[in-house]
């Protein structure tokens, strides 16, 4: 017999909701979907709601309403952090191995290269 992984064994992003007497766990497709779900939960929150959490598929708790506060504020920060990481990784790779060198803030060597490329293309 072949072993087929069940839904329970598959890792996914989760929204965890804690109430006075119970705890709910809901699998969602992405962090974005989790954020929407948390907003819905808080919009209709009963008094017994204690805490909402967003847990990634790697089991990292990225959002905890008692620690991170308002979901909208957290979402804004998270979007900014994501954009920063993406732009740093994808748009610039320092030729001089300078770890602090990113597209928005080039190291002196890269700034020099950029100037040479931009200003001297007419010369040989
Ligand atoms: Zn550089």
**Cα 100 to ligand 1 centroid, rounded to whole Å:** 8
- Regarding whether 69 and 24 lie in a shared domain, the answer is yes
pLDDT on residue 3: 59
- Regarding whether 52 and 17 lie in a shared domain, the answer is yes
Query: Rounded to whole angstroms, how far apart are CA atoms 18 and 53?
Result: 8
Judged against a pLDDT cut of 50, whether residue 41 lies above it is answered with yes
Q: What residue numbers bound the domain in which 109 lies? A: 90-124
Query: Rounded to whole angstroms, how far apart are CA atoms 39 and 88?
Result: 30
Please tell me which residue, 102 or 120, carries the higher pLDDT value. Answer: 102
Mean pLDDT of the 15-38 span: 95
**Cα 104 to ligand 1 centroid, rounded to whole Å:** 11
Query: Rounded to whole angstroms, how far apart are CA atoms 59 and 113?
Result: 43
**Cα 88 to ligand 1 centroid, rounded to whole Å:** 12
Flag whether 83 is in a domain: no
Flag whether 47 is in a domain: yes
- Regarding whether 109 and 65 lie in a shared domain, the answer is no
When divided into structural domains, the chain yields a total of 2
Please tell me which residue, 78 or 89, carries the higher pLDDT value. Answer: 78
Where does the pLDDT of residue 2 fall: very low under 50, low under 70, confident under 90, or very high at 90 and above?
Answer: low
Judged against a pLDDT cut of 80, whether residue 100 lies above it is answered with yes
pLDDT on residue 36: 96
């Amino acid at each position: 017999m072949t072993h087929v992984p069940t839904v329970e064994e598959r890792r996914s992003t989760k929204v965890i909701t804690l109430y006075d007497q119970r705890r709910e766990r809901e699998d969602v497709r992405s962090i974005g979907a989790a954020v929407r779900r948390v907003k819905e939960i808080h919009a209709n929150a009963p008094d017994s709601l204690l805490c909402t959490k967003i847990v990634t598929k790697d089991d990292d708790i990225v959002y905890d309403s008692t620690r991170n506060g308002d979901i909208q504020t957290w979402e804004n920060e998270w979007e900014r952090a994501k954009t920063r990481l993406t732009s740093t990784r994808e748009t610039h790779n320092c030729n001089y191995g300078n770890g602090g060198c990113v597209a928005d803030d080039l190291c002196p060597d890269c700034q020099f290269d950029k100037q040479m490329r931009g200003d001297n293309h007419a010369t040989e």
